[in-house]
């Protein structure tokens, strides 16, 4: 698997060390925000998801890009902030949000809004973003980098940092910041009970 991933275009080439660092974690539900091509679904399902089964729910404004659809439980055509809002009040305790190589594609205000909404959800967030200017714009229209971020900027939106490391992209040579974030207690919204959730139903959690 690592050999296959290494031959793909970035970012999977430099995500492998990060996955190896967190492989001991096992999640049941992953929300893949801005899933794009869908690189992360097979990587996380193989290395980091629960052995008894898992769900991966993605969203992107261009779902036609998603090549790895079979690895997803669902994919929504949606911007990330609308997707987060629609998830519902209850999220399983062993769920997490994947925000790898996403936030730099959003304007600063939208990125902050996304982080604050995720902090309210009260679940772990995996986030990466370039730690220095990217040498080239994406050839895909609309996917150019629109903001730059530091760890302090990200944590100011309501998070503690459980993990921080800079890694270099083997293809472009740029440094990327990798973070595992947990929401501060003061930022978390009260979640609905399991009974309330089962009555209301979430569009992304299987009942």
Separation of alpha carbons 34 and 128, rounded Å: 13
List of residues 6+ apart from 10 with CB closer than 8 A: 169, 170, 171, 172
Identify the band that residue 13 occupies on the pLDDT scale cut at 50, 70 and 90.
low
Complete domains list, the chain, with CATH? 2-200 (3.40.50.150)
Identify the band that residue 27 occupies on the pLDDT scale cut at 50, 70 and 90.
confident
Does pLDDT of 2 surpass 80?
no
pTM to 2 decimal places: 0.81
Tens-digit pLDDT profile for residues 28-39: 899 999 998 888
**Overall average pLDDT of the 129-155 stretch:** 74
Mean pLDDT highest for which of 21-25, 93-97, 114-118, 137-141? 114-118
Q: Which residues pair with 76 in a beta bridge?
A: 59
CA 72, 91, 179, 128 torsion-angle sign: positive
Q: What is the predicted pLDDT for the residue at 173?
A: 75
């Amino acid at each position: 698997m690592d050999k296959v991933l290494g031959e793909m275009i970035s970012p999977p080439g430099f995500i492998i060390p990060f996955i190896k660092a967190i492989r001991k974690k096992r999640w049941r539900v992953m929300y893949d925000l801005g899933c794009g091509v869908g690189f992360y679904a097979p990587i996380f399902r193989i290395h980091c998801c629960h052995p008894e089964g898992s769900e991966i729910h993605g969203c992107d404004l261009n779902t036609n890009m998603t090549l790895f659809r079979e690895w997803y439980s669902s994919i929504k055509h949606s911007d990330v902030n609308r997707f987060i809002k629609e998830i519902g009040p209850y999220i399983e305790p062993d769920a997490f949000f994947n925000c790898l190589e996403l936030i730099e594609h959003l304007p600063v205000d939208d990125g902050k809004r996304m982080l604050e909404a995720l902090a309210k959800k009260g679940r772990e967030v995996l986030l990466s973003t370039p730690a220095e200017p990217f040498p080239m714009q994406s050839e895909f229209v609309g996917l150019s980098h629109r903001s730059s971020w530091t760890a302090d900027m990200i944590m100011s939106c309501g998070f503690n940092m459980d993990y921080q490391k800079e890694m270099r992209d083997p293809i472009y040579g740029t440094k990327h910041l990798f973070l595992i974030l947990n929401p501060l207690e003061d930022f978390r919204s009260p979640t609905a009970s399991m009974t309330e959730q089962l009555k209301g139903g979430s569009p992304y959690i299987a009942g």
